[in-house]
Structure 1
């Protein structure tokens, strides 16, 4: 998979060199063209992990960006208006993540979104304790994290 990623980067650099336009959009376009060409050449290969993970990584990045912007707007609106809309709470979140890297990445992504902060991980590494600034419904928040960040992250890592 690393070999395919490096080949895709090489094709992107070749595209940038051939076009002579050194912009990040041109590089991303070259990456997409290289990805498509590599997919065409490797359709019959048995190892297709690279071609399934790259779209999932891009989807995860876009979802994270959406959630971050949404949380920033919510926090900024609360700061600007005279009335506070905060309903803070602590949620005990049962994780499906098992390994150290999965737990670490999940807790980092949750903490990076404004309004949430990881307080602790349980001793058996099955529960995260999360401080939430805008907690309306605990079950809805748990389901949102499970269906959003955790599911997408575990699809990439596993």
Structure 2
């Protein structure tokens, strides 16, 4: 997988050098063009993990960006308006992720999202305690984390 990623990066740099444009859009286009070329060239080789992982990473990036923007707007609205809409609370979120890396990634993504904070992980690593500014329904909050960040982390690590 490392070899394909390095080949993808090398082809991207070749594309950028040939076009002479270091614009962000050109680099991204070169990356996806070289990704597509590598996919066509190596099709049927049986080592397709890289080609399954890249779309998942891109999808995860856009999902996290959306969640980050949504949370920033919600917190900015709370700060900017005179009324008080917060319903803070601490929720115990049962975990489906099992490895230390997956748990750390989930906890960090929750903490990076404004209005939420990962507090602790249980000793048996089956529960993550999360503080949130907006807990209207605990089950909906847990479902949001499980169907959002946790589901996508499991997809990335599988």
Q: Normalized against structure 1, the TM-score is what?
A: 0.98
Structure 2 counterpart SS, 1:118: strand
Deviation of 1:23 after TM superposition, in Å, equals: 1.2
Q: Distance in 2 between matches of 1:141 and 1:8?
A: 39
Give the ranges of 4+ consecutive aligned residues of structure 1 lying more than 2 Å apart after TM superposition.
none
Q: Deviations over 1:82-140 (max 9, x none)?
A: 00110001100001111111110110011100011011100001100000111111111
Say whether residues 1:35 and 2:38 are aligned partners. no
Give ranges in structure 1 of 5+ residues lacking alignment: none
Q: Deviations over 1:63-90 (max 9, x none)?
A: 0000000000000001000001100011
- The alignment covers a number of residue pairs equal to 158
Say whether residues 1:150 and 2:150 are aligned partners. yes
Deviation of 1:45 after TM superposition, in Å, equals: 1.4
Q: Distance in 1 between matches of 2:136 and 2:46?
A: 47
Say whether residues 1:6 and 2:6 are aligned partners. yes
Give ranges in structure 2 of 5+ residues lacking alignment: none
Name the structure 1 match of 2:94.
94
CA RMSD of aligned residues (A): 0.6
Deviation of 1:48 after TM superposition, in Å, equals: 0.8
Name the structure 2 match of 1:79.
79
